[in-house]
């Protein structure tokens, strides 16, 4: 058994949990837009296509299990590469709420304060509107908010129903989220076997949070037998996909020598990888090891 614990983050619904309670404001200078006129770089009739592409970037990141921060950075890079002024983008969306993606994207800008001030209450209303139009990305975001109560009252029944609905469509992020619901009894009865099966399915679809949760199941014998080798392999796979929590957990296993040969150099390597992504526990452990 470990003397120190793998940080399972109490089963990961989405890596956005690390940032949910921070008051985030995007600095427009972060991407240094090169134009003040959106029409100099992209025809207005093409902007809806660009917005669809941005929403696809967000959805893909969620399904891969990426953290909120790198997804945001990819969005900002895409906007910058297309030389779109953030204020112009915000204003265009304000006046073009004609489909679920534009409604969702307007909520996304308000959530982060991109081209405007942060307004999470407006974000919730916009996500709910887009979700009613069957926007998958909005539904995923709402399900996570209903689980954790970020900007909205916790509603486990709604979280479960949204997760179940999207899981039936084969959405990796939702399948992992549904596994969380069965593991913790969120809107349903606790069913460890069902949770394990869903985490396995999410893993098979390439969701790194599903890999971590499946590893956590093998580590603790949740819905399966304890198998530290499988735990290590799953954390390693998720870490190679850039998941900061997996990197931290892998470092912990190397430091302790549980499920793998003890290797302090590799522990430092993976703590550093995680720390560079802003994971505070990894930053603490890295400092501790380097000082010793």
pLDDT in tens, 130-148: 999 999 999 999 999 999 9
Quickly tell me which residue has 């800008």 as its tokens.
Answer: 109
Q: Given pLDDT bands bounded at 50, 70 and 90, which one contains residue 35?
A: very low
Tell me the average pLDDT across 39-55.
Answer: 76
Distance between CA 115 and CA 135 in Å, rounded? 23
Six-digit token pair at 194?
A: 């069902």
Amino acid 68: pLDDT: 86
pLDDT tens-place string over residues 107-131: 999 999 999 999 999 999 999 999 9
Tell me the average pLDDT across 23-51.
Answer: 52
Amino acid 173: pLDDT: 98
Q: Given pLDDT bands bounded at 50, 70 and 90, which one contains residue 39?
A: very low
**Predicted TM-score (pTM) of this structure:** 0.85
pLDDT at 30 over 70: no
């Amino acid at each position: 058994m470990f003397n120190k614990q793998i940080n399972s983050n109490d089963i990961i619904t989405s890596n956005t949990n690390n940032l949910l309670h921070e008051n985030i404001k995007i600095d427009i200078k972060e991407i240094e837009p090169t134009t003040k006129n959106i029409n100099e770089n992209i025809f207005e009739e093409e902007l809806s296509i660009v917005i669809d592409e941005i929403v696809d970037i967000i959805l893909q990141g969620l399904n891969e299990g990426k953290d909120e921060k790198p997804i945001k950075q990819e969005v900002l890079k895409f906007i910058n590469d297309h030389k779109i002024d953030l204020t112009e983008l915000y204003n265009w969306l304000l006046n073009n709420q004609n489909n679920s993606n534009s409604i969702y994207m307007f909520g996304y800008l308000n959530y982060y304060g991109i081209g405007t001030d942060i307004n999470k209450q407006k974000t919730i209303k916009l996500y709910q509107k887009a979700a009613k139009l069957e926007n998958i990305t909005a539904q995923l975001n709402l399900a996570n908010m209903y689980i954790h109560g970020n900007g909205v009252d916790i509603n486990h029944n709604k979280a479960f129903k949204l997760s179940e609905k999207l899981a039936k469509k084969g959405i990796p992020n939702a399948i992992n989220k549904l596994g969380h619901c069965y593991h913790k009894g969120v809107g349903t009865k606790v069913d460890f076997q069902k949770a394990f099966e869903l985490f396995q399915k999410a893993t098979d679809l390439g969701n790194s949070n599903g890999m971590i949760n499946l590893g956590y199941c093998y580590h603790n014998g949740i819905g399966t037998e304890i198998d530290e080798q499988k735990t290590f392999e799953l954390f390693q796979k998720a870490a190679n996909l850039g998941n900061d929590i997996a990197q931290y957990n892998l470092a912990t296993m190397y430091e302790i020598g549980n499920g793998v040969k003890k290797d302090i150099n590799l522990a430092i390597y993976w703590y550093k990888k995680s720390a560079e992504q802003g994971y505070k526990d990894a930053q603490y452990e890295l400092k501790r090891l380097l000082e010793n």
